Amino acid sequence: MRQFIHKHLPVILFFTLASMTMIVLKTPENRGLGTADTLPANDVDYYMKNYTIITSNTLGMAQLWFSGVELTHFPDNLTSVDEPEITFRSPQQQIWTTIADKGQINDAQQITLDGAVQINQVNINHTEIQIRTEELVVSLADKIASSDKLVDIIFPNGTVSAKGMRIDFENNKVKLLSAVSAKYEVQ
């Protein structure tokens, strides 16, 4: 028995140390995340507060900014986002900024935004256009967003309302899907 212990002691110690390290690292206080009472509930994998993620094109120019107040990832690959903000820069240098109350990421390339979704776009003539809806699905890979909910578009001289839309951020196009009505104020 003594020979067995002497021969396998390094392996036993290694696995004991590895197990203890995993237990210690699983406690929130030791991961630098605060105390257990400040963590989101429901078996959280990880979370970030006040984050910004920036991606660049092949020339190194920033083309996508994704930020928010809090991002919480769960073991089932669902990610919840509080107060998300997504900004796209088109090749024509037009900026589209989308904000919402909440967001949910089911895979790495698609985000569903909920509650008071607002899209702001300032065009090359410095005219701001604002789009409002209650839900928006944003595909980061395709740089496209869509909604089947009611949509209001507000611009300096009027408004347009519709049911459903599709936005192509890359090509600066908005397509309204149905029940379109408009009001234009002549100055």
The answer to whether the predicted template modeling score (pTM) of the entire model surpasses 0.85 is no
What is the reported pLDDT for 15?
40
User: Above 80 in pLDDT, residue 17?
Assistant: no
List the domain range (segments joined by +) for residue 149: 42-184
Same domain, 131 and 53: yes
Which pLDDT does position 3 carry in this prediction? 56
Confidence of residue 43 (pLDDT cuts 50, 70, 90): confident
* Phi-psi label, residue 21: left if phi above 0, alpha if psi -120 to 50, beta otherwise: alpha
Mean pLDDT, all residues of the chain: 78
Categorize the per-residue pLDDT at 18 as very low, low, confident or very high, splitting at 50, 70 and 90: very low
Q: Do both 72 and 151 map to the same domain? A: yes
Q: Which residues of 133-156 are buried (b: 16+ CB within 10 A; e: fewer)?
A: beebebebeebbbbbeeebebeee
Is residue 77 domain-shared with residue 125, that is, in the same domain? yes
Distances (CA, A) of 19 to 10, 16, 25, 83, 127: 14, 5, 10, 38, 60
159 plus 86 within the same structural domain:
yes
Task: Tell which wins on pLDDT, 85 or 26.
Answer: 85
CB–CB of 87/95 below 8 Å? yes
Greater confidence (13 vs 108) lies with 108
**Residues with Cβ < 8 Å from 4, sequence gap 6 or more?**
none
Q: Is the pLDDT of residue 83 over 70?
A: yes
Same domain, 30 and 58: no
85 plus 50 within the same structural domain: yes
State the sign of the Cα–Cα–Cα–Cα dihedral 53, 154, 103, 177. Answer: negative
* Of 182, 177, 140, the residue nearest 159 (C-alpha): 182
Distances in whole angstroms, Cα of residue 75 to Cα of each of 16, 79, 90, 169: 26, 9, 34, 31
- pLDDT for the residue numbered 108: 65
Q: Do 30 and 84 belong together in one domain?
A: no
Q: What percent of the chain has pLDDT over 90?
A: 37
Strand partners, 38: none
Answer yes or no: is pLDDT of 135 > 60. yes
